[in-house]
Structure 1
């Protein structure tokens, strides 16, 4: 059963339904569209109260009865139809209108978590402020507001990489950029031969360019300054790439620390 907020229900009604109709669909084309996308027959009586439901009523009942994921993929499929409908009927909408609609279906498809590895945003030391920062970032994603936390994610990454450099005794300055810190860390793990495949090494090289570009996003597209904020979809993309990289580093560090510990343990079988 899909759970939509009051605002999301209003978006569905205002965007897709007009006097019982769903955009420009006929009964037959609407049934076929929903079946193609979800493999579900929306003409089933359970979606129509007393068997007289309009297309709009059936859509609302479908949303009420089906899972978040199924509703999400249907609303996503209807996005292009919505844009086309508005263009055909002289109803141009600004980016904010479509962004709200996109946020809705992405939240539903992802099960409420639009960034897969958001759990990786954890402080790697006991600093109270660092832990509070990580918590605020995770809360922004839980609220489906990644664009509001880009500057905090940048700050998190700097603190995270400084702690990693500290752990290997790598020197850095107070004002070191995030890409400079990342470069120093990558140099260390290459020297230690933590990277086992050429493909992984190429991905890491590419991620350096991603991290480098993050400085511009923080300075010119986030709440760090009086900026126009980056759009939602690109904010999700940035978050997803950064958190995936952080998750990989955490897994790699944990693996090699466990190896070091195992090698340091005495072999009691030799006594």
Structure 2
């Protein structure tokens, strides 16, 4: 439920079970399969959840916490890597609408704005 709420993905999906079905192995599978920005989104949500429900130890090392946030920031800023999902779009009935949408989506992804690309995807379905 947590992964679905924050990513729309099901952590129990077969594609995350390459190393086994335990929670840790499914999480490792998720990290391997999903793009960096999706992994970063989940990690931020996990931190927020742990903070909200006071699951973070009171004596948590601030340096470690800062390292975690630097890793998440690095996962979020990888605009130079190609996003294979963009090429998965197929043309709709109106070829001009598709071309405009594809151009807008690719630009948003290249500018590291996945949310903008997602909105464009949902508008042109």
TM-score (norm 2): 0.55
Equivalent in the alignment of 1:86? 56
Unaligned runs of 5+ in 2: 81-125
Number of residues of Structure 1 aligned to a counterpart in Structure 2: 78
Unaligned runs of 5+ in 1: 1-31, 114-271
Is the partner of 2:11 in helix, strand or coil?
A: coil
Equivalent in the alignment of 2:68? 101
- Counterparts of 2:38 and 2:61, CA distance in 1: 27
RMSD: 2.1
Q: How far did 1:110 drift?
A: 2.0
- Counterparts of 2:16 and 2:30, CA distance in 1: 6
Is the partner of 1:86 in helix, strand or coil?
A: coil
Q: Give 1:140-159 correspondences, 5 Å limit.
A: none
Confirm whether residue 37 of structure 1 aligns to residue 2 of structure 2. no
- Counterparts of 2:79 and 2:73, CA distance in 1: 8
Equivalent in the alignment of 2:27? 59
Q: Which has the larger radius of gyration?
A: 1
Q: How far did 1:79 drift?
A: 1.1
